[in-house]
Structure 1
Amino acid sequence: MHLLTHPTRQTGPSGTDMYGIYRNMVLFDFKAEIHSGFFVAYYRNFAIPSTARTLAATGEMKSRPMKRSYDTGIVIHEIIANGFAHERSQAMIELLRRVHKGVPGTQDDFVYVLTTMLVLPLRWADRHGWRRLTELEKRAATDFYAELGRQMGLDGVPATFAEAERFLDEYEDRDMGPSPEGAMLLEATAEALARRFPTWLRRFTPTVLALMMDKPQVAVALGLKPAPAALRLPFNAVLRFQALKARRRPLPPEPKFVPGGSLSAYPDGYTLDMIGPRAS
């Protein structure tokens, strides 16, 4: 297990520890930005009709939306925080293999879901972060998801960030669209998302979600009303102001995620056997 460091705010990382670079990006350097990007990735899957049908068929998101939302984040953060060799990470990778075994879908479908977790958080951080990402950081993130894909038994995982972006955009151009299942999943999980917002902002959750999507067609595919163009400028201005404030602050002394720690869905903490679908 790699010991978590507390890096100082810098113009960019150096060195050859690709895993350590990506871990620090997620847990320290760009923790807020990548967290927002993971939200974008989570909802992106509802905009793919075939994936939405598969997710809807399990019943997990409709019956336990808060748990399903947090469990998705816990799985990937456990691996990021602990490293691939750690027993906690291996337990989460085995959970991913088990949950996806027998799930209908092509190899491209599974690679797309993996690629959303790479490309969309980095695009968000690059656009709204306190500094631009470096090519080293993009390579570190790409290497992480290539290894995760390998351990999950996936073929055709992009080897470079440019390839991953191209794969994601071409897949979405081909397969994105509205569906009854996607609309149902959005409705079922909207409350879980709203709970993460300040109370005054919760009534505007659909509009905020539409603004967070980087392509207008994503909001349409989700069944959302496209965000009014007049709101785009102030929305981006708020994010830019937050980035400027972040640039002047020291990095946090503690990581955003602590394995087994307290979360809204698990106020007393969690053990790994609590994560994932309930046994039928």
Structure 2
Amino acid sequence: MQLLTHQTRRARPRGTDAYGIYRNMVLYDFQSEIHSGFFLSYYRNFAIPSTAKVLAATGEMTSRPMKRSYDTTIVIHEIIANGFEHERSRDMIDLLRRVHKGVPGTAEDFVYVLMTLLVLPLRWIERYGWRRLTELEKQAATDFYAELGRRMGLEGIPATFADAGRFLDEYEDRNMGPSREGAMLLDATVGAFASRVPARLRRFTPTIMALMMDKPQVAVALGLKPAPWVLRVPFAAVLRFRALNARRLPLPTVPAFVPGKMSVVAYPDGYTLDQIGPTGKSANV
């Protein structure tokens, strides 16, 4: 029997259903790459002073940083894993609408947060993935977030991946910068990231975080020391070596996420949907 490797799988047709294509990307084909990209998305918001101020004011990230970190992951993965019409997904979208109701910010601010979830993971794949993305996959991901944004009541969402990338870059050129709140949020949540780093490397967590940032100004805005160039080259080389090695391995057959079954520090025995989100059903952000 022929081994189903990344090379043989790559040639197989994926169909044209946007949701199915993006679900496959996240849960199977690019598990580690998407995970890294979502990490970048989570911290990117701290680099926008106005957003950091809103997040800091709620106290959620400073009082329960581990839970907030995993809740963010769970909400988006529930929707990806189940599809928009599933009851669990509708509950998560209702939660998103509820917690953002009355939150200060412009429509552009909210679209930016959505675009970090689309653009940054796909850019990570383009740099360090085991293969390049197809145009069909990029559009499928774009369509997914356009639909999510629509269901959240947002307007002005980019219709193509190229437009999404331009939106994100132009927004950051105008709005990114260091702030007291951004640095405070980073300090409060760095432990959540460190818990996922091998124990022997945890003392280097701030450097690892800085190395992962795709733009030097992001590290500065977060209050991190920009990673020295002498470390950037070997860091990129390690990730590209991993990508080359991954091309020879079988694709995962177990999904990266199973609803309700995520066993992590915040939810060691799994979770139920009523545990997800800020304290109190009506709490904001």
TM-score normalised per structure 2: 0.94
Contact map agreement 1:9 1:29 (CA 8 A) in 2:
no
Equivalent residue number for residue 84 of structure 2 = 84
Equivalent residue number for residue 278 of structure 2 = 277
Distance 2:252 2:79 in 1: 21
Matches within 5 A, 1:20-31: 20-31=20-31
* 1:209 and 2:178 are equivalent in the alignment: no
Matches within 5 A, 1:149-164: 149-164=149-164
Deviation, structure 1 residue 200: 0.8
Equivalent residue number for residue 268 of structure 1 = 269
Equivalent residue number for residue 3 of structure 1 = none
Distance 1:244 1:16 in 2: 27
Distance 1:43 1:132 in 2: 25
Deviation, structure 1 residue 263: 2.2
Deviation, structure 1 residue 259: 0.2
SS at 1:208 equivalent: helix
Structure 2: any 5+ residue segments left out of the alignment?
Answer: 1-5
Residues 131 and 48 of structure 1, relative CA distance in 2, 3 Å threshold: same
- One-letter code aligned to 1:234: P
Distance 1:120 1:217 in 2: 15
Deviation, structure 1 residue 247: 0.7
Deviation, structure 1 residue 195: 0.2
Equivalent residue number for residue 125 of structure 2 = 125
Deviation, structure 1 residue 225: 0.3
SS at 2:157 equivalent: coil
Equivalent residue number for residue 230 of structure 1 = 230
Distance 1:161 1:199 in 2: 37
Matches within 5 A, 1:234-245: 234-245=234-245
- One-letter code aligned to 2:146: A
Superposition CA RMSD, Å: 1.3
Distance 1:44 1:86 in 2: 29
Once the two structures are aligned, what percentage of the paired residues are identical?
Answer: 77
Q: Structure 1, residues 21-55: CA drift from partner, whole Å, max 9, x if none?
A: 00000000001001000000100000000000000
- One-letter code aligned to 2:138: K
Residues 11 and 216 of structure 1, relative CA distance in 2, 3 Å threshold: farther
- One-letter code aligned to 1:198: P
Equivalent residue number for residue 141 of structure 1 = 141
Deviation, structure 1 residue 10: 1.1
Deviation, structure 1 residue 11: 4.3
SS at 1:248 equivalent: coil
Distance 1:263 1:122 in 2: 26
Equivalent residue number for residue 105 of structure 2 = 105
Distance 1:51 1:276 in 2: 18
- One-letter code aligned to 1:37: G
Q: Structure 1, residues 54-107: CA drift from partner, whole Å, max 9, x if none?
A: 000110000000000000000000000000000000000000000000000000
Distance 1:67 1:189 in 2: 10
Distance 1:45 1:215 in 2: 14
- One-letter code aligned to 2:186: L
- One-letter code aligned to 2:62: K
Structure 1: any 5+ residue segments left out of the alignment?
Answer: 1-6
Q: Structure 1, residues 218-255: CA drift from partner, whole Å, max 9, x if none?
A: 00000000001000010001101111111111111210
- One-letter code aligned to 2:9: R
Equivalent residue number for residue 4 of structure 1 = none
TM-score normalised per structure 1: 0.96
Q: Structure 1, residues 132-164: CA drift from partner, whole Å, max 9, x if none?
A: 011000000000000000000001011110110
Contact map agreement 1:128 1:243 (CA 8 A) in 2:
yes
Q: Structure 1, residues 144-187: CA drift from partner, whole Å, max 9, x if none?
A: 00000000000101111011000000000000000000000000
Distance 1:187 1:152 in 2: 30
- One-letter code aligned to 2:221: A
SS at 2:10 equivalent: coil
- One-letter code aligned to 1:212: M
Equivalent residue number for residue 49 of structure 1 = 49
Across the two proteins, how many residue pairs are aligned to each other? 275
- One-letter code aligned to 1:119: V
Q: Structure 1, residues 179-224: CA drift from partner, whole Å, max 9, x if none?
A: 0000000000001100001001111111111111110100000000
Equivalent residue number for residue 93 of structure 1 = 93
Equivalent residue number for residue 16 of structure 1 = 16
